[in-house]
Amino acid sequence: MTKYYLSTILPLLYFVGISQGYTQSSTHEVALSFFEPLPPVMKGAEQDTSALISLGKKLYFETALSINHSQSCNTCHDLNNDASGVDHLRASIGALGSVGERNAPTTWNAGLHVAQFWDGRAKTLAQQAKFPLFNVKEMAMTSESQVIERLHSKGYLANFKEAFPKKSSPINIENTSQALAAFQRTLISKDRFDDYLAGDRNAINQSEKSGLLVFIEKGCVACHNGAVLGGQLFMKMGIVHPYPNKKDKGKAQVTGNPADNYFFKVPSLRNILNTAPYFHDGAAATIEQAIEDTGWHQLGIKLNKQEVNSIKVFFNTLNNQKIIEMGPKNKPENK
């Protein structure tokens, strides 16, 4: 057994072990030992001005950032009508009709993750924002100059000058990425589970508390913990029982290290009931399938229907209640 494998499996075993040792503690105490409320402000947002956030919000819905004016960031990470920041496809369809390689993750709470993308190829939101613009399977823009020309033609100069007052030529890729990141740093969800963690013990009902305990006792908490219930580490997909999809090697496609084969960022479970389908390849169409498959491939256990349903009931407490205000300048494109 390699040191690399041990460094992955030992923390999981540790969490599974301690998750089964809280029989004398209250459910609330147990929850606080694994989870914490979402922060009111994301790290890095301290310098985000209202002008920068407003520009980023406008750019998020801007279809001129795709080669044929057909798509915006919002196309694959949908925030329309308080939506969940996903497109509900196994893999997104790009501006030129190409099908992507992975399921589009939600933009809600993305800035609280350890890295961006399933394979962690971008460390920050600003770095991430550049990739889709020039990916031929996504927005398919051909050059930075094309992006800049589009934004000038759409009348963005005044917006950029307001957001970047010290720049003589403010419209560029770096500033575009910074603005998009600033808006995404405002996408912090709000749910009843945080109310519960903050001290309102009646914020979730008894069935949901029972589901929470099943979630913890079965070992799900080994990877899905902290403020976003995930998003903080990379884990091998199929660590106990092999995962069927062997085509996508995950993080190894970025690092070139075979030891990273099939490692993917652990997804957040915030608002999880509203972000189907699940996994990096969108293979789980329902939350029930996702729970069952995770138990088998990641924990090596077969969850029964009652356990699966109980965990699903707990997930209701993670439903996002926050509303995105859409001003007239931020009206999304028609689909």
Name which of 172, 168, 169, 97 is nearest 129 in CA terms.
Answer: 172
CB atoms within 10 A of CB 317: 21
- The alpha-helical segments, DSSP class H, found in 35-112 are 50-60, 73-76
Distance CA 155, CA 267 (A): 37
**DSSP structure class, residue 45:** G
Q: Would you say 241 is a known binding-site residue?
A: no
Known binder of ligand: residue 223? yes
333 in catalytic set: no
> What does the alpha-carbon distance between residue 139 and residue 150 come to, in Å, rounded to a whole number?
13
> What is the CA angle 112-170-180, rounded to 5?
20
208-227 burial: b if 16+ Cβ within 10 Å, else e: bbebbbbbbbbbbbbbbbbb
Question: Could you write out the three-class secondary structure of 223-261?
Answer: CCCECCCCCCCEEECCCCCCCCCCCCCECHHHHCCHHHC
Angstrom distance (rounded) from CA 26 to CA 23: 8
Q: What is the DSSP letter of 297?
A: I
Q: Is 220 annotated as a binding residue?
A: yes
- The residue type of 156 is Y
297 is in an annotated binding site: no
Q: Which two tokens stand for residue 263?
A: 């490692």
Residue 145 to residues 95, 108, 127, 133, 164, Cα–Cα distance (Å): 19, 30, 18, 12, 19
Catalytic residue chosen out of the listed positions 29, 46, 138, 174: 138
Instruction: Name the token pair of 331.
Output: 């009206």
Q: Among candidates 290, 269, 289, 235, which has minimal Cα distance to 119?
A: 235
Residues known to be catalytic: 138
Binding residues for heme c: 73, 76-77, 220, 223-224
Binding residues: 73, 76-77, 220, 223-224
